[in-house]
């Protein structure tokens, strides 16, 4: 292995971009699916039904106590056994991310919903809206505005966690860099690039969250 060679990075950019596309797609699906399922879980946790509250609470407690890498591993190796055919690395990772992140998004969303003043809900009900309509038109819009910075910070964590898909051989950005570095004996250049890219993206997103917090602060 010789001195640092920037040309190694330039030559590897097409393959690295392919890996980054996987990383970004996995991040987007994990966030969107996690928020969607998180809303359902949050509503269940706030339900008057003890059964719904207990089921959602057990789900959140269980998923938050498991390592994400273990969940991805389970879906990749155990689900094909249960369904009788391969699920594939990408879909295993997506399912694992959605189920895992939903437990965290659930608590964020639940906190946001509880932060909406009860008087506004009562006013909506008095005006003829149903409980579901109040949730859709009054509670969730206000809750999302208040919890948006926290949701974005959790989304940054999702992006960083995508590197865990190496356990199932999915060629994301980090895995692509590792393969290129091993092939060309240039691991230093590749790992340095990965560190810089992750730092720039996460730092930029964190700064955006801070700016958003200052703008929506009362």
- Asked if residue 125 lies in contact with residue 131, where contact means CB atoms within 8 angstroms, the answer is yes
Contacts of 84 by beta carbon, 8 Å cutoff, 6+ apart: none
pTM of the model: 0.86
Q: What is the pLDDT averaged over residues 119-144?
A: 78
pLDDT tens for each residue of 82-92: 777 777 889 88
pLDDT tens for each residue of 147-159: 888 889 999 999 9
Looking at domain 6-216, does it have CATH number 3.30.460.20?
no
Report the C-alpha gap between 113 and 122 in whole angstroms: 14
**Roughly what angle, to the nearest 10 degrees, separates helices 140-161 and 89-114?**
140
Contacts of 168 by beta carbon, 8 Å cutoff, 6+ apart: 72, 73, 76, 89, 92, 93
């Amino acid at each position: 292995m010789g001195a640092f060679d920037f040309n190694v990075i330039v030559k590897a950019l097409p393959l690295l971009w392919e890996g980054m596309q996987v990383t970004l797609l996995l991040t987007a699906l994990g966030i969107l699916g996690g928020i969607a399922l998180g809303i359902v879980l949050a509503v269940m946790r706030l339900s008057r039904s003890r059964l719904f509250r207990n089921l959602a609470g057990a789900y959140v407690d269980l998923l938050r106590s498991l390592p994400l890498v273990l969940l991805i591993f389970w879906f990749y190796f155990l689900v094909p056994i249960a369904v009788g055919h391969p699920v594939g690395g990408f879909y295993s990772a997506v399912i694992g991310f959605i189920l895992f992140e939903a437990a965290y998004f659930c608590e964020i969303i639940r906190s946001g919903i509880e932060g909406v003043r009860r008087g506004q809900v009562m006013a909506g009900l008095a005006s003829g809206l149903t409980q579901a309509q109040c949730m859709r038109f009054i509670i969730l819009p206000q809750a999302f505005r208040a919890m948006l910075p926290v949701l974005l910070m959790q989304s940054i964590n999702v992006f960083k966690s995508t590197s865990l898909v190496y356990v199932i051989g999915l060629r994301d950005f980090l895995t692509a860099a590792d393969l290129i570095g091993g092939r060309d004996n240039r691991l230093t250049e590749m790992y340095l690039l990965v560190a810089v890219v992750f730092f720039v993206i996460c730092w930029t997103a964190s700064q955006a969250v801070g700016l958003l917090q200052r703008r929506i602060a009362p």
